[in-house]
């Protein structure tokens, strides 16, 4: 049995042993109650006598939005790569999602998808999305994970620091949320601490507090903001059977939108805009904003649909990657996962999938019989699971006007790849072969290298863009 606690320090910093076969881990602490946190706890329970999940909020009993996730009311999708990883971690979870009403939407057959001035042909689907709400998915995962007696949830409690030193983390310092006195802080020893506290992580302060170095942060921010509202779909829209709409912002088009079915026959509609073109939270202005989209089809849909909620806004959409894999004075026994490690522009729908893929990478790194799972090696494996999603999100966002941050500049070595991907995007709407390869990469079911397969490369390099509709296809193609 692999032991993730028998850590020996290394002069390089953060490269101590995180595994051994002679003694089981006594205790692991996971900071946060997110999807990434829960899946990490599930993974660690195979190597620990006990795992404690520390969450600053009180978690709901059922499938309801939780206070610590302001974006939980917005549109979420589970990409196919994430669905496969989640099913591997929690067998049967996809069937549970479907039983609780999560729709399965095929791409491109089930979407009117607009990108770069054209709609995609609605050819047979090559990937599928699960489009149920995030609270339902979180609830099902939480219910499954917390049923394990080795995993304990500590609610209403926040981590205020780490125990240990720059060589090794030995636990966390806690206090009940809402208290502020020094006497309110208590200690909890642990052999491994995992930061899964999300975008708002305080890990830099925690590490500095024990004399260690924080991770170098790569940031890329387009200023994108979005607003979401819940709708009951029109009873019928003459001449179409399209169950979803997707407008992707790009060069020359700052506005985007997505309308997807969720549980109970309802829809979530999210409108987005880049810096300077942010969507409003005012309910009447929400519909007016949709008229700015490059085609009126979704605006017309909204005029006929029945709103069932107010409009909720969200603006924390920067891409942020924390490079714990790079050399530095960092302790053994400390890992970061989920958004605390790598957070993406939500417009690409990658977060939940990468949380599952990261937990799968953690599982495999800890169980690898060929290599000792040092802290740095395990951290690199988890970060590696997010690399393709980062390359896709950051690569696309660098091309958008007004992008800022230390990762916003396109390096000379990246320009040939960016040129090639731009040609892929131009050909994907009309060419089913190019489109299938592009969707597989974006859905995280195939490596980006699939875009360079001979049949795809011939079409990208030597063929002109095939015809694609200027208006949304009313019916799917039968071929």
| pLDDT single digits (tens) 379-408 | 999 999 999 999 999 999 999 988 999 999
Domain boundary among 314, 345, 379: 314
Whether 17 is covered by a domain: the verdict is no
Q: Give the residue numbers spanning the domain of 355.
A: 25-72+139-220+317-392
Please report the pLDDT score of residue 1 as a whole number: 34
Claim to verify: residue 177 and residue 302 sit in the same structural domain: no
Residue pLDDT, tens place only, 181-212: 777 899 999 999 999 999 999 999 999 999 99
Query: pTM of the entire structure?
Result: 0.93
Whether 479 is covered by a domain: the verdict is no
How many domains are contained in the chain? 2
Claim to verify: residue 305 and residue 328 sit in the same structural domain: no
Please report the pLDDT score of residue 15 as a whole number: 43
- How many Å apart are CA 261 and CA 248, to the nearest integer? 18
Domain boundary among 376, 392, 408: 392
Claim to verify: residue 230 and residue 282 sit in the same structural domain: yes
Please report the pLDDT score of residue 56 as a whole number: 94
Whether 194 is covered by a domain: the verdict is yes
Whether 122 is covered by a domain: the verdict is yes
Claim to verify: residue 248 and residue 386 sit in the same structural domain: no
Task: Check residue 59 and report its DSSP letter.
Answer: P
Claim to verify: residue 149 and residue 39 sit in the same structural domain: yes
- How many Å apart are CA 144 and CA 89, to the nearest integer? 11
Whether 353 is covered by a domain: the verdict is yes
Claim to verify: residue 128 and residue 270 sit in the same structural domain: yes
Would you call the peptide bond into 75 cis, given omega within 30 degrees of 0 as the criterion? no
Please report the pLDDT score of residue 25 as a whole number: 53
Whether 468 is covered by a domain: the verdict is no
Domain boundary among 288, 314, 340: 314
Query: Which residue(s) pair with 257 in the sheet?
Result: 247, 271
Tens of pLDDT along the chain (479 residues) come to 345 444 333 333 444 444 333 344 589 999 999 999 999 999 999 999 999 999 999 999 899 988 778 788 899 999 999 999 999 999 999 999 999 999 999 999 999 999 999 999 999 999 999 999 999 999 999 999 999 999 999 999 999 999 999 999 999 999 998 887 777 899 999 999 999 999 999 999 999 999 999 999 999 999 999 999 999 998 765 446 788 999 999 878 999 999 999 999 999 999 999 999 999 989 889 999 999 999 999 999 999 999 999 999 999 899 999 999 999 999 999 999 999 999 999 999 999 999 999 999 999 999 998 888 899 999 999 999 999 999 999 999 999 988 999 999 988 888 999 999 999 999 999 999 999 999 999 999 999 999 999 999 999 999 999 999 999 998 999 76
Claim to verify: residue 196 and residue 309 sit in the same structural domain: no
Whether 463 is covered by a domain: the verdict is no
Buried b (16+ CB within 10 A) or exposed e, 357-387: bbbbbbbebbeeeeeebbbbbbbbbbbebbe
Please report the pLDDT score of residue 236 as a whole number: 62
**Where residue 58 sits, what CATH number does that domain have?**
3.50.50.60
Whether 471 is covered by a domain: the verdict is no
Please report the pLDDT score of residue 331 as a whole number: 96
**Where residue 284 sits, what CATH number does that domain have?**
3.30.9
Claim to verify: residue 370 and residue 228 sit in the same structural domain: no
Whole-angstrom Cα Rg for the chain:
23
Claim to verify: residue 144 and residue 183 sit in the same structural domain: yes
- How many Å apart are CA 179 and CA 220, to the nearest integer? 35
Q: Specify whether the CB–CB gap between 318 and 208 falls below 8 A.
A: no
Please report the pLDDT score of residue 23 as a whole number: 45
Q: Which of 74, 28, 85, 71 has the alpha carbon at shortest distance from 53?
A: 28
- List, as one string, the DSSP characters of 198-237: -TT--HHHHHHHTTPPPPEEEEEB---EEEEEEEEPPS--
Please report the pLDDT score of residue 20 as a whole number: 36
Claim to verify: residue 226 and residue 216 sit in the same structural domain: no
């Amino acid at each position: 049995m692999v032991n993730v606690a028998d850590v020996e320090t290394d002069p390089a910093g953060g490269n101590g042993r995180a595994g051994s076969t002679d003694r089981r881990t006594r205790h692991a602490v996971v900071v946060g109650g997110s999807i990434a946190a829960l899946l990490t706890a599930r993974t660690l329970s195979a190597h620990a006598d006990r795992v404690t999940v520390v969450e600053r909020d009180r978690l709901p009993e059922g499938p309801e939005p939780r206070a610590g996730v302001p974006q939980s009311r917005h549109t979420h999708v589970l990409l196919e790569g994430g669905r496969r990883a989640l099913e591997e971690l929690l067998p049967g979870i996809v069937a549970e999602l479907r039983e609780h009403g999560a729709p399965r939407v095929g791409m491109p057959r089930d979407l009117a998808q607009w990108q770069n001035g054209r709609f995609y042909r609605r050819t047979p689907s090559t990937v599928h999305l699960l489009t149920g709400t995030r609270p339902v998915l979180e609830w099902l995962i939480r219910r499954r994970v917390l049923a394990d007696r080795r995993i304990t949830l500590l609610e209403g409690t926040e981590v205020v620091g780490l125990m240990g030193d720059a060589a090794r983390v030995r636990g966390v310092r806690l206090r009940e949320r809402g208290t502020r006195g020094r006497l309110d802080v208590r200690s909890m020893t642990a052999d491994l601490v995992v930061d899964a506290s999300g975008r708002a992580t305080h890990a830099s302060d925690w590490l500095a507090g024990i004399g260690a170095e924080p991770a170098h942060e790569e940031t890329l921010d387009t200023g994108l903001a979005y607003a979401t509202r819940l709708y009951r779909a029109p009873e019928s829209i003459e001449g179409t059977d399209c169950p979803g709409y997707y407008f992707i912002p790009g060069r020359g088009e700052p506005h985007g939108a997505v309308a997807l079915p969720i549980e109970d026959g309802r829809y979530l509609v999210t409108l987005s805009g880049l810096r300077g073109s942010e969507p409003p939270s005012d309910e009447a202005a929400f519909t007016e904003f949709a008229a700015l989209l490059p085609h009126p089809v979704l605006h017309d849909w909204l005029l006929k649909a029945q709103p069932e909620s107010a409009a909720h806004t969200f603006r924390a959409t920067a891409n942020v990657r924390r490079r714990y894999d790079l050399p530095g004075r960092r302790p053994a026994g400390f890992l970061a996962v989920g958004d605390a490690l790598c957070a993406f522009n939500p417009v690409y729908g990658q977060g939940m999938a990468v949380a599952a893929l990261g937990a799968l990478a953690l599982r495999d790194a800890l169980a690898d019989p060929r290599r000792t799972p040092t802290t740095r090696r395990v951290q690199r494996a988890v970060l590696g699971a997010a690399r393709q999603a980062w390359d896709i999100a950051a690569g696309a966002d660098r091309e958008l006007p007004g992008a800022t941050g230390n990762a916003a500049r396109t390096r000379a070595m990246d320009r040939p790849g960016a040129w090639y991907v731009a040609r892929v995007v131009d050909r994907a709407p009309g060419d089913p072969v190019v489109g299938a390869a592009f969707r597989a990469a974006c859905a995280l079911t195939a490596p980006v290298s699939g875009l360079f397969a001979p049949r795809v490369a011939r079409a990208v390099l030597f063929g002109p863009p095939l015809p694609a509709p200027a208006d949304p296809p009313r019916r799917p193609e039968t071929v």
